[in-house]
């Protein structure tokens, strides 16, 4: 519980959850995929802004990331204008985005990683993973909206976001990054259906998104389980397994009064 509430782990987990929610199969479209890639490019620009004072070419890399984000946003705008009736124009913009991603990956690889230490080196590692993921996405044939290509692009972005959670967990535990997929991340961070929390101090703990069981999760004596149910959804109905809804703040809200 402490690990999932670590600020960096929580931020990475929320980015992964956001990506998965916006990339659902029934909602998947080229515009959605480009929006997810654009979010990743914006985060990349933030990474590079953090290191530019420590690396001679870091400032140039920031501008490269911002150019990439603007190109992706431009591609989304063209979808609104063109639909898929004139894919050539859109394909040209996506080719430009791919070229910019590949050039940026080369530039990031050329940054003096050996001279950077601590947090800055970690940020550079994160930036490298993000730009390589973007390059993989943009290497796919996305312009015609092919369902398989869109699904693969979405899956690559989910992989990148899941790796970010693993990296944040590793840093929180002072270990190498954890190699976790979305299922093992769920088991590690969100599944408390068979967990004994009876002696845990959960004061101020964010419970949103956790899975718990009315049969096998053991809560501290101060917790009003029936009240917690009113802030949770049973899934599937009748199973006794509950998911705490978003908007439910902390354990303090569910303590017996």
Q: pLDDT tens across 159-175, in order?
A: 999 999 888 888 888 87
Give the mean model confidence (pLDDT) for residues 72-100: 76
CB 160 within 8 A of CB 138: no
To which residue do tokens 């992706």 refer? Answer: 72
The DSSP bridge partners found for residue 243 are 211, 233
- What pTM value is reported for the model? 0.79
pLDDT at 23: 86
- R_g of the chain computed on alpha carbons: 21
β-pairing, 211-213 with 241-244?
A: antiparallel
pLDDT at 235: 86
257: confidence class by pLDDT, cuts 50, 70, 90: very low
Instruction: Provide the H-helix boundaries in the chain.
Output: 7-22, 30-51, 58-82, 87-109, 118-138, 147-172, 182-189, 225-230
More confident of the two residues 154 and 115: 154
pLDDT at 256: 47
More confident of the two residues 216 and 222: 216
Tens digits of residue pLDDT in 40-81: 999 988 888 877 666 555 566 778 888 888 888 888 887 765
How distant is the alpha carbon of residue 11 from its chain centre? 8
More confident of the two residues 32 and 246: 32
pLDDT at 247: 60
249: confidence class by pLDDT, cuts 50, 70, 90: very low
Give the whole-number percent of the chain exceeding pLDDT 70.
84
Q: Is the pLDDT of residue 215 over 60?
A: yes
Q: In what order do the strands lie in the sheet with 191-192?
A: 191-192, 211-213, 241-244, 232-234
CB proximity list for 95: less than 8 A, separation 6 or greater: none
* Residue 3: both structure tokens together: 């690990």
CB 208 within 8 A of CB 244: yes
Q: How many degrees, rounded to 5, is the angle at CA 175 between CA 174 and CA 176?
A: 140
Three-state SS for 192? strand
Tens digits of residue pLDDT in 20-41: 888 888 888 888 899 999 999 9
Tens digits of residue pLDDT in 137-149: 999 988 888 889 9
Q: Is the pLDDT of residue 152 over 90?
A: yes
How far apart CA 255 and CA 189 sit, in angstroms, is 22
To which residue do tokens 């001679």 refer? Answer: 56
């Amino acid at each position: 519980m402490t690990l999932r509430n670590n600020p960096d782990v929580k931020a990475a987990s929320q980015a992964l959850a956001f990506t998965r929610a916006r990339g659902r199969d029934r909602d998947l479209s080229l515009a959605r995929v480009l929006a997810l890639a654009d979010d990743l490019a914006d985060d990349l620009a933030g990474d590079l802004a953090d290191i530019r004072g420590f690396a001679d070419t870091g400032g140039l890399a920031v501008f490269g990331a911002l150019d990439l984000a603007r190109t992706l946003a431009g591609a989304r705008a063209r979808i609104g204008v063109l639909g898929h009736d004139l894919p050539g124009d859109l394909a040209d913009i996506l080719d430009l985005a791919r070229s910019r991603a590949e050039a940026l990956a080369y530039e990031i690889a050329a940054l003096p990683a050996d001279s950077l230490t601590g947090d800055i080196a970690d940020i550079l590692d994160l930036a490298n993973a993000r730009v390589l993921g973007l390059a993989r996405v943009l290497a796919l044939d996305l312009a015609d909206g092919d369902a398989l290509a869109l699904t693969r692009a979405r899956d690559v972005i989910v992989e990148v976001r899941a790796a970010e959670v693993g990296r944040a967990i590793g840093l929180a535990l002072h270990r190498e990054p954890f190699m976790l997929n979305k299922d093992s991340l769920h088991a590690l961070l969100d599944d408390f259906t068979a967990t004994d929390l009876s002696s845990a101090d959960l004061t101020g703990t964010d419970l949103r998104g956790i899975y718990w069981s009315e049969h096998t999760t053991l809560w501290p004596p101060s917790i009003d389980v029936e009240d917690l149910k009113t802030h949770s959804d049973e899934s599937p109905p009748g199973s006794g397994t509950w998911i705490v809804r978003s908007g439910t703040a902390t354990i303090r809200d569910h303590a017996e009064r």
